[in-house]
Amino acid sequence: MSHTPLASPTGRLGVLMPGMGAVATTTMAGVMLARRGLGLPIGSLTQMGTMLLRRDAPAEVALRDAVPLAGLDQIAFGGWDLFPDDALASATNADVLSEKHLGLVAEELRAVKPMTAVFYPEYVRRLHGTHVKKAPSKAHMVAAVRDDVRRFLRDEGCDRAVAVWCGSTEVYREASAVHESVERFEDGLRHNSPEISNSQIYAWALVQEGVPIANGSPGLTLDFPAMYELARLRGVPLAGKDFKTGQTLMKTMIAPGLKARRLGLRGWYSTNILGNRDGEVLDDPDSFRTKEVSKLGVLESILPKDGHPELYGDVTHRVRIDYYPPRGDQKEGWDNVDLFGWLNYPMQMKINFLCRDSILAAPIVLDLALLLDLAHRAGMTGMQDWLGFYFKSPMAPAGTAAEHDLFVQQVRLHDALRRIAREAA
Ligand SMILES: NC(=O)c1ccc[n+]([C@@H]2O[C@H](COP(=O)([O-])OP(=O)(O)OC[C@H]3O[C@@H](n4cnc5c(N)ncnc54)[C@H](O)[C@@H]3O)[C@@H](O)[C@H]2O)c1
């Protein structure tokens, strides 16, 4: 952390989103409505959260009074997509917000036009975009995105930016040799390595430009040694991955409760239907695999086998997602939980969550943007594991286990904000 006091920011903050689909446009419209007093930013800790300034303080204060965050009216939105629709057309197509809501901010949304996308289709096989960049190599693609960022900052009069990857889930890939160091990655870019994904090209360009980035999808986008090295070199904070919304949010609320009461678990079966473009992309087994890996880690971490073999030693955990177009963005999740109590007597719990995916994701995007900007101004670089609260697959420093318990994550988030608040003072 830096040792100069942290002042309230004055300039405009660019919030850049590669992927201007349902989540991105719901975030944009919500912020535009909230800053005009036409809607409440419910679910956002930066706007509605409170915290103790000291753990033993007598009363909580508003989080935005505790630390110097950018204000909603200082935000300028930008993004990229492989379809040319502006934010109004894309939000209309996503069908998350009502016409009444979109109508109130239609002009502002129409003005957010996507920049052309970096798109190697083998990473998202279900989409066929037309609004894409052409360049002879992946290194040229990085250069083109860097130009986009500079042009955006100049045109919008912003003095800094943050980014949140809101693009589609890419096919499952593990890190390979090209991801090991900055040198190898740069070499891979020049030689068009097939191991380098679209989202990694954006992330590389953004970090090179000194723009902090969070990853809302479950892929490898930021989570590899070369990216950590680059982030340290460029003094940029990173956070990820996969927004914790719907079913996993519930799981990480309920599992800590079972553990707190020392109730046992035999199995947890989760299934979902969703019909938005995200669902269509996840219909590809390789994209689903990325999501499945992200969703499965949660229970084992909260209910460790070794800690209580008699309670959690033999748990069957299954996750399914089905693409079902009639449902649109209004996902439905069913959970069947087989638990047991006193003298091993079995019980069942059924959870039917009729959630709205993007309504739960939008406040996360806003919080991540404002908190990453705060972290950047506070001189924090590299992986920000205190932001794990917002993610299904929180990134953790090498050799340490990621924390999934929502309540422990909340304590860590508040602890980090208290440290920043002390610096700010
Ligand atoms: N909504 C949720 O609750 C939630 C939760 C966790 C994670 N996520 C993740 O957030 C992401 C966005 O979700 P969504 O519901 O908005 O999906 P969406 O399909 O509505 O939007 C994704 C957009 O990304 C665009 N895109 C794909 N590849 C791109 C590229 N290379 N460059 C630029 N644009 C690209 C697509 O054209 C699309 O418009 C997905 O990865 C999803 O898995 C969403």
What tokens were used for 64? 């935005």
Confidence of residue 289 (pLDDT cuts 50, 70, 90): confident
* Residue 386 to residue 71: CA distance in whole angstroms: 22
Mean pLDDT of 99-122: 96
Test site for ligand 1: of 166, 200, 298, most ligand atoms within 8 A of the Cβ: 166
Most ligand 1 atoms within 8 A of CB, residue of 278, 330, 366 to mutate: 278
User: Dihedral through CA 371, CA 373, CA 378, CA 384, nearest 10?
Assistant: 50
Beta strands in 360-404 (DSSP E): 382-383
- pLDDT tens sequence across 374-418: 999 999 999 999 999 999 999 988 888 899 999 999 999 999 999
User: What are the phi and psi torsion angles at 120 (to 5°)?
Assistant: -100, 110
**Per-residue model confidence as pLDDT tens digits over 175-232:** 999 999 999 999 999 999 999 999 999 999 999 999 999 999 988 999 999 999 999 9
Instruction: Give the orientation angle of helix 22-35 with respect to helix 357-377, to 10 degrees.
Output: 70
Q: In this structure, what token pair is assigned to residue 278?
A: 């995200």
25-70 residue pLDDT tens: 999 999 999 999 999 999 999 999 999 998 888 999 999 999 999 9
Instruction: Identify which of 16, 17, 23 to mutate to test ligand 1's pocket (most ligand atoms within 8 A of the CB).
Output: 23
Distance 334 CA to ligand 1 centre (A): 23
Instruction: Report the amino acid identity of residue 197.
Output: S
Note the pLDDT of residue 295: 74
User: What is the set of domains in the chain, with CATH numbers?
Assistant: 12-243+358-424 (3.40.50.720), 247-354 (3.30.360.10)
**pLDDT tops 80 at residue 425:** no
Q: pLDDT tens, 334-386? A: 999 999 999 999 999 999 999 998 999 999 999 999 999 999 999 999 999 99
Calpha distance 95→97 (Å, rounded): 6
- Distance CA(214)–CA(365), nearest Å, equals 9
Predicted local confidence at residue 166, as pLDDT: 97
Q: Please give the model's pTM, rounded to 2 decimal places.
A: 0.94
Per-residue pLDDT, 27: 98
- pLDDT tier at 7 (50, 70, 90 boundaries)? confident
Phi, psi of 95 (to 5 degrees): 60, 40
Q: What is the whole-number distance in angstroms between the Cα of residue 317 and the centre of ligand 1?
A: 26
Confidence at residue 3, expressed as pLDDT on a 0 to 100 scale: 45
Q: Report the Cα 169 to chain-centroid distance in Å.
A: 12
Please tell me the predicted confidence (pLDDT) of residue 2: 45
Q: What is the percent of the chain where pLDDT is above 70?
A: 98
| Distance of CA 167 from the midpoint of ligand 1 (Å) | 4
Q: What residue ranges line ligand 1, CB within 6 angstroms? A: 18-24, 80-83, 94, 117-119, 124, 127, 166-169, 198, 216-217, 242-243, 245-246, 276-278, 357-358, 360-361
Torsion angle of C-alpha atoms 53, 249, 243, 107, degrees rounded to 10: -90
Q: Ligand 1 atom closest to Cα of 24?
A: 16
Q: Where does 287-395 show beta strands of DSSP type E?
A: 316-323, 332-341, 345-354, 382-383
Give the Å distance between the CA of 169 and the centre of ligand 1: 6
> How far apart are the CA of 59 and the centre of ligand 1, in A?
39
Q: What is the mean pLDDT of residues 242-264?
A: 94
**End-to-end Cα spacing for the chain:** 14
Whole-number Å distance, alpha carbon 236 to ligand 1 midpoint, is 23
